[in-house]
Chain A
Amino acid sequence: DQQVKQNSPSLSVQEGRISILNCDYTNSMFDYFLWYKKYPAEGPTFLISISSIKDKNEDGRFTVFLNKSAKHLSLHIVPSQPGDSAVYFCAASAFNNNDMRFGAGTRLTVKP
């Protein structure tokens, strides 16, 4: 049973436009959420995170929004660049719980 779901396997956007990647979770104990970016033949790298006490966290072109009541988070990339083309994984963990759960990933393609 997947506790973290990314329902869109792929997304294609034009360079300069906004990319919005979505993630839903089912476990109400999750209180820390992360986005990872993965290029082919490399391990995932941490991009941005948010704890459940916040509803927004911004880092440059990347913003993560958290809607706890809907158990939904999203990653906004503005403006999108061709170098952002990668697979993005949403992840979640619970306080005092050592493991972390990942979604299936969304492949983002940013076209020049």
Chain B
Amino acid sequence: DVKVTQSSRYLVKRTGEKVFLECVQDMDHENMFWYRQDPGLGLRLIYFSYDVKMKEKGDIPEGYSVSREKKERFSLILESASTNQTSMYLCASRRATETQYFGPGTRLLVL
């Protein structure tokens, strides 16, 4: 079974803090993704990576950066958290043309 894990289920941070969200997958997938889920907007792609040290911007990359130093790990970084980044963050991974598997999500609250 594919397993995608995220470092935290719930996080509370203050405006201006730097926030790290970690994601690890155990199936040697090339592709990893970060989405945010907001009511009425569905899942919006922030960044994705198709290989180690490679990254591509998704639809809403502003205010975020990512890091992929190892194949199994994909980190999302909020350089300076703002209240409009309060959301559910979902990590996913997949092989090139296969189904995408999601982690359980991190619910982030920025005060």
Per the bound structure, the CA–CA distance linking A104 and B35 in Å amounts to: 12
Which bracket fits the contact residues of A? Answer: 20 to 34
Label chain B's interface by main secondary structure.
Answer: strand
Enumerate chain A residues within 8 angstroms of B31, measured Cβ to Cβ: 98
CB-CB contacts of A43-73 with B at 8 A, as 1s and 0s?
A: 1111001000000000000000000000000
Contact A9 B40 (CB under 8 A): yes
With both beta carbons as reference points, the residue of chain B lying nearest to A1 in the complex is identified as B59
CB distance from A104 to the nearest CB of B (A): 4
Contact B48 A98 (CB under 8 A): yes
| Known A-B contacts A34-B99, A49-B99; A44 and B40 likewise in contact (beta carbons under 8 Å) | no
With both beta carbons as reference points, the residue of chain A lying nearest to B107 in the complex is identified as A41
CB-CB contacts of A77-98 with B at 8 A, as 1s and 0s?
A: 0000000000001010001001
**What is the interface of chain B, defined by CB distance below 8 A to chain A?**
4, 9, 31, 33, 35, 40-45, 48, 50, 56, 58, 90, 92, 96-97, 99-105, 107
**What is the interface of chain A, defined by CB distance below 8 A to chain B?**
6, 9, 32, 34, 36, 41-46, 49, 89, 91, 95, 98-105
